[in-house]
Amino acid sequence: MKPVRLMWGVCALFFVLMAGVTVFSVRRDYARLPQVELVLARPEGDNTYTVPLAAVREDEEGRTFLLFVLEEDGPWGKEYVCRRAFLKPLRLDPEEGTALVAGQDLCRYPIAGRCESPLAEGRRVRFVTEGRP
Amino acid sequence: MMRKDRALAPLLLPSALGVALFYLLPFFLALRQSLTGQGGGFSLARYGEALGNPMFRLGAGNFFLFALIAIPAATALSLGLALLLRGTGRGFSLLFFALLLPFVVPSGSTAFFWNSVFGLNGFINRLLFQNGLEIVLWDSSRWSILIPVVLYLWRFCGFFALLFFVGLRNIPEEYYEIARLEGAGRFTLFRKVTLVYLAPTLIIVLLLSFVCTFRISRELFMLFGKYPDQNLYFFQHFLNNQLGSMNLPILCAATVLVTLAAALAVLPLWRAGKRGSDSFVMRGEGNRAYRPRRQGGGHTLLVLALAALFLLPVLLTVSNSFMSPAEVTGRYSAAVLPQNAGGLARGGLHFVEPALLPAQGTVRQYAAFLLEPAYLRMFWNSVGMTLPVVLLHTAVSVTAAYAFFRAGSGGMRGLFALYMLLMVLPVQVMITPQYVFFRLLGLTDSWLPVMLPAIFHPIGVYIVRLQLQGFPWECIEAARLDGAGEGRIFSQVVLPNLRGSVLLLLLYTFAETWNLVDQAVVFIRDGYRLPLSVFLFGMLQGDLGLLSAGSVLYLLPPCLFFITCLLWFRERREES
């Protein structure tokens, strides 16, 4: 084979490999994202909402917060990222598995519910199913 | 306009429109802004502010000093290398490859190497310390101006040597034989034959070396940041920092001032080049070019040593990429750590320990780099920007160069002179007018402001026009007598004979676009749309192993492309 053809082949192979690595890397990255159940806050009037207990999280200092799941730009398209909002539940109902929280526009964004691994501010996630409070 | 010029208009139009839109119009917008006072009327106050700014004066002075050292040094060194190349039989391909490789290697890929040469714990200080001498803080010493000079020589000398080499091959062997018969010695041959017939090439090298002096600021930004020591503060730093603070009126005034200075510097060179090209002697088909005599072992050793010296930054980058993070940190850290405790150190300062072979090879850095989708996105951004620019720039430049070659009117000659002036303007100078222009169009934060000016940059026209100077008119006349039109003459007679310049243009454009940093930083806000060159640029303070792996992956495409082009060119030459 002529050296030039060989080199064009090497060039083509390099880019094909890079394309393959890219597809693998993006798919692997997606597969490793924690699966999260999305929930929507149910309005109860007077800026109060009912959310599942699983959506109310606590940090090391004992502060409670909700994680809203927002759509943001990622390297290969839209990504879903957890953004934290601190709030104190007004009432907990362990039997029903819900909590009453107060705040403005809490139903604007979906909230991260049950998840297979601990979630934190800025963590990228993927969805399982939409849950109901 | 002459009738022939009108027939050539379609070939020139794309380039002329692009130059007018993305260079001239932005420049006039900047000129207008620089002449507008605070009340909206005519004012020269901005020029007073720019000239009175101590940082602008400091940057301009340092740059002038740098150019004054770098241009003669590069010219002399590259001429020496070209003479060495001409006399090289064995090892020619290796030396040729080693000399040209720095030109296509992205700046970010070797920044780490240069940092480990000139740093406080760097290789030079290590040698000084080992020999009982005082170590030097190079970037703030009185010798610091030599740092950009060394970087410049390493990056561009090979390219200039190639130009000289082509010029040397065009000197017929008969001239040397006649001079030898008349008793001329080696020095007389060099002075009376080589230098005389190399004069047109010398002008071209001087012009291009002037153009390339502006490009060294990329390396300086990478090594010393936005605010380097005052000896290394160039006017490009001033322009970039002013753009960062959006001080557009002063920037526009500074742009106009630098343009005027560049025009004044280039005008004598251009006139000399034109005179030279008018009397340029091409080696005819019947004349033999100089052929190297058999060289001894000393010559081969010198060739190998030079090749190793030029390849060293790339070889060390490759070596570092296969080291474990602990080994890279241990070898290059300035602090004495457990993993480098046995190394050379002075008062808590550990000196670098570069190695061509890693102690324990690993590909973990590559895995870390390749498994991060964000890095891969930036890699493909670079591909997405570079390929269209390379193809379109080559197409636009070749057609326009042919139109200039064939045109005979004074208007076309004036237009070509304008191209030459725009060609020498540094990227940093044109960024401000282009920023003003693209902001008016609402096109910032996209790839277009980066790609469009690159596609229509006049340097491509100049490179192709250079080769066309030696094109035999008889071939064109013969084709015309056979009834061929301008389009047919161009595509079937001229284009197949432009392989050399097209190859050079492809390589040059690929290297420049693949390596672009300044334009992307200014125009692209979204981090995920940036090319990988920008990421490497900012990674010098981060994970060094990851930087090395990314650098190697990033320099592979230009290297592969470079080798393929060289082989293709050699194959075509052998075929013809």
- Nearest Cα residue in chain A from B559: A11
Question: Residue B424 corresponds to which amino acid?
Answer: V
Question: H-type helices in B279-408, by residue range?
Answer: 297-321, 325-332, 364-370, 373-406
Smallest Cβ–Cβ distance between A25 and the set B371, B563, B571 belongs to B371
What number is the average pLDDT over the span A78-103?
87
Collect the ranges in chain B with pLDDT lower than 50: 278-285
* Nearest CB partner across the interface for B377, out of A3, A11, A75: A75
Q: Is the Cα dihedral B557, B553, B112, B327 positive or negative? A: negative
Amino acid B96: pLDDT = 81
Contact B373 A18 (CB under 8 A): no
Per-residue pLDDT, B278: 47
pLDDT score at B171: 82
* pLDDT at position B177: 87
Q: Establish if B528 touches chain A: CB-CB under 8 angstroms.
A: yes
**In chain B, which residue's Cα lies nearest the Cα of A24?**
B371
Among 2.40.420.20, 3.40.50.300, 3.40.50.1100, 2.70.170.10, name the CATH number for the domain at A35-130: 2.40.420.20
Domain boundaries, chain A: 1-32, 35-130
Q: Do A75 and B374 touch (CB under 8 A)?
A: yes
Residue given tokens 């390219």 in the structure block: B159
Report the pLDDT value the prediction gives residue B385, as an integer from 0 to 100: 94
Q: Is B508 exposed, middle or buried, given 0-12, 13-18 or 19+ CB atoms closer than 10 A? A: buried
State the span(s) of chain B assigned CATH 1.10.3720.10: 1-25+364-576, 69-232+261-280+292-322
Q: What is the pLDDT of residue B439?
A: 87
Q: How far apart are CA B438 and CA B449, in angstroms?
A: 7
From the list B373, B557, B567, the residue facing A7 with the nearest CB is B567
What pLDDT is recorded for position B576? 59
- At B393, the amino acid letter reads H
ipTM of this predicted complex?
0.85
Q: What does the pLDDT look like over A49-68, one tens digit per residue?
A: 888 888 888 888 888 888 99
pTM of the model: 0.84
Nearest-Cα distance to chain A for B444, in Å, is 18
Structure tokens at A74: 């990622």
Tally of CB atoms within 10 A around B289: 12
Q: Alpha carbon of B71 to those of B144, B148, B235, B236, B283: distances in Å?
A: 17, 12, 18, 18, 28
Q: Quote the minimal CA–CA distance from B391 to chain A in Å.
A: 17
From the options 1.10.3720.10, 1.10.10.60, 3.90.1640.10, 3.30.470.30, give the CATH code of B69-232+261-280+292-322.
1.10.3720.10
How confident is the model over B115-144, as pLDDT tens digits? 888 888 888 989 998 888 888 888 888 888
Class of the CATH domain delimited by B1-25+364-576: mainly alpha
Closest residue of chain B to A2, computed from CA coordinates: B571
